[in-house]
Amino acid sequence: MAFLSFLFRRLGLSLFVFVGVLILTFIVSRVIPSNPAALYAGARPRPEQVQEIEKKLGLDKPLSEQFRVYVGDLLVGNLGESYHSRRSINTDLRLFLPATLELVIAAVLIALVLGIPTGVLAGAYPRSPFDYATRFAAVAGVSAPSFWLALIAQFIFFSQLGWLPLGGRVSRDATLFYPIAAQTGFYLIDAAVSGNWKAWLDALHHLILPALVLSAYPVGITIRMTQASMLEVLSETYITAARAAGLSRGVILFKLALKNAIMPALTVVGLSFAYSITGAFLVETIFSWPGVGKYVTEAVLNVDFPVIIAVTLVVTLVYILVNLLIDLMQALLDPRVRLV
């Protein structure tokens, strides 16, 4: 019961945040000194063309009326239309969002699977060669620019070794001979559901390099956070008590200590997940990955407000969901949290 009320309280709070962002994005898009209608009309429009478009887009109406239409559209899930390409943003995002999510989720999974055990061991053996080596790797992973890593990765694994493809989500062969039936837009899921294993393998091949490059930052930060909090937890009395009780090192490190030490790492990985939705655009560009980062970067260059607003709202939603998830995990791990 305590858990459910905790959940509902967090959900209520999240709604509040979302409405705030909704209002902010609307205001910002209306006070920016640029004329959307002129942009929509294209190069050198006549004044009456601009007026006509203003009317069409509803920009001649009072702000309160515009806001009502904007919220009304959002409530029915309509994100609007790009000023630049005139395409429906819903259609675009249905294409780009799963591509980005697939990439970012893969990167985050790599970060957790690689970073947490490494951090645990580095924390368990402080000042050991392993500790120093992972420290160096972690700092390198966090500070290396992703575009540089991407180029190096392509050079090694594509040009030199020829193990992995250069970019894209699937190869031309796959699109031609065993196309993936789009359901969710997550190629790995779609291919697996339809039993199209050749395409699944092809999609996985394409995913590896960009996911690895994108994971460099979260891997590094996961290692550091886990190492630091393990170091702290391992000095607690209950760890000495566990050792005095004759529990094995494995149980102490990966069960008793890790459960106490994992939260900071999960928190930063969660935030870097949300950040990567738009922040991955360099990696997406270099690997020709048709993702949200690339999409919104173009929109920004074209001052395409509906797209910018839509993506902002989507990213907000992701942030909210990730934070909610982190809070829920914290509550699940730590029985004391639910009472607060």
As to burial, measured by CB atoms within 10 angstroms (0-12 exposed, 13-18 middle, 19+ buried), residue 5 is exposed
87: contact with another protein by CB under 8 A: no
Query: x/- site string to another protein, residues 217 to 236, per CB under 8 A?
Result: -------------------x
Which CB atom, from 3 or from 148, has the smaller least distance to another protein?
Answer: 3
246: contact with another protein by CB under 8 A: yes
Distance CA(164)–CA(150), nearest Å, equals: 13
The dihedral over CA atoms of 98, 102, 104, 109, expressed in degrees to the nearest 10, equals: 150
**Window contacting another protein (CB under 8 A); options: 41-49, 81-89, 144-152, 256-264:** 256-264
Using CB under 8 A as the binding criterion, the count of chain residues that bind another protein stands at: 21
Find the shortest distance in angstroms from Cβ 260 to another protein: 6
**Window contacting another protein (CB under 8 A); options: 202-210, 245-253, 270-278, 301-309:** 245-253
147: contact with another protein by CB under 8 A: no
| Helices 89-124, 263-279: inter-axial angle, 10-degree rounding | 150
334: contact with another protein by CB under 8 A: yes
Structural contact between residues 336 and 116, judged by C-beta atoms closer than 8 angstroms: no
SS3 45: coil
Measured distance between the N- and C-terminal CA atoms of the chain, rounded to whole angstroms: 13
Which CB atom, from 143 or from 248, has the smaller least distance to another protein?
Answer: 248
Distance CA(123)–CA(21), nearest Å, equals: 39
Task: Establish how many alpha carbons lie within 13 A of residue 167's alpha carbon, considering only the half-sphere containing its beta carbon.
Answer: 14
Find the shortest distance in angstroms from Cβ 330 to another protein: 11
Q: In this chain, which of 59, 243, 324, 328 binds another protein, going by CB under 8 A?
A: 243
Residues that bind another protein (CB under 8 A): 236-238, 240-248, 251, 255-256, 259-260, 333-336
